[in-house]
Amino acid sequence: MTFNNGELITMIGIIVNPDSGKDLRRIVGHAIDVTDQQKLNILIRLLRVLLYYGVKKIQIMPDRFSFGRKAIDACKDIPDAGKHCQVLDVAMENEASDTLRATREFRSRNASCIVVLGGDGTNRIVSKACGDIPIIAISTGTNNMIPEFNEGTSAGLAAAFIALTGNLKPKDYCQRHKWFEVFVNGQSVDRALVDIGVIRGCFVGARAVWEPDRIDRIFVTQARPDSTGLSSIVGVVQPVSIDDPWGATLELIDKGRHRVTTFLVPGTPSAVHISSIDRLEPDFPYVLRAHQHLILALDGEREIVLSPGDEAQIILRLNGPYVANVRQVLNYAVNERFFIDATN
């Protein structure tokens, strides 16, 4: 936050992932298609709400489709929209590093919250650098456990209330998300917020995971039967709540008495055989030794290649990012009479 002539100016950061919702699962599973125009429309609604409520510093990550600039142009009928809304002046490489770089910039400027239009993978990257800044996650991905299908208007209301109400603490309206820390050969290399899949093979190729016959093991921080993706295999047998102070892991086997039908890809059933589900306690390393080429898929995307002889450790942590519950924030705002203007 900054000050202008003694007035406290809070800042809201916004990240729109131009690539979310565009992986191969659109073809193989007929998944929901959030188009570029839909993303832009969500962003416009978000900005108009923030500006209406008087948020005076809004910064947007640049991207190759210029979502930020187009949305600001669409708000020109609002006085001083161009003054209060700006596209962040940072280098753009059209890679995941753009999201990481923007998040670090928002944190350095003490953003009151970061609004993220993306999927689990986008929020995973934001979580690497956001610290204790709350995330308001809007789903524009495929398999989503973290971002909800929040309307841009509702997300804007929640973000405005957070930014303009200085006495709130993240624990009042957020869930502290669990996460996995991943070590390879003793070095911390990455993280996952929802699930890790151990995939047989050595080529990343298309990052999305949709082939059940190549999956050896799954780790989850949470699992629900109403979800899709890797975590759903656990969720249809033994759900794990976001509030449970533990995670779970299971092994997929060629044959066995536990046959599970689930949906790794929306609309596409998959039958797998599983062993028993084991609980994962926090801060206790699960050791995975690679006897063949393996790939670790983090939150549904292939990321880490293990060669024979490599050793990975997967550790559940409970101190992940704060993720705002929009409905809870708005209920809090109602109790604080945020939406009521005093009249004479």
pLDDT at 26 over 50: no
pLDDT (0 to 100) of residue 171: 83
**7 burial type by CB count under 10 A (0-12 exposed, 13-18 middle, 19+ buried):** exposed
The owner of tokens 């990257």 is: 125
Name the nearest CA neighbour of 336 among 176, 172, 111: 172
The owner of tokens 């979800």 is: 227
Question: Among the ranges 30-39, 174-183, 247-256, which has the highest mean pLDDT value?
Answer: 174-183
Q: Averaged over 102-128, what is the pLDDT?
A: 94
What tens digit of pLDDT does each residue of 37-87 get? 999 999 999 999 999 999 999 999 999 999 999 999 999 999 999 999 999
pLDDT bracket for residue 235 (50, 70, 90): very high
Q: Is 133:111 a contact under the CB 8 Å cutoff?
A: yes
Q: Which residue ranges form the domains of the chain, and what is each CATH number? A: 2-177+320-335 (3.40.50.10330), 179-317 (2.60.200.30)
pLDDT exceeding 70 applies to what percent of the chain? 88
Q: Is 249:216 a contact under the CB 8 Å cutoff?
A: no
pLDDT (0 to 100) of residue 317: 98
Q: Averaged over 167-194, what is the pLDDT?
A: 92
Q: Averaged over 79-103, what is the pLDDT?
A: 93
pLDDT (0 to 100) of residue 4: 42
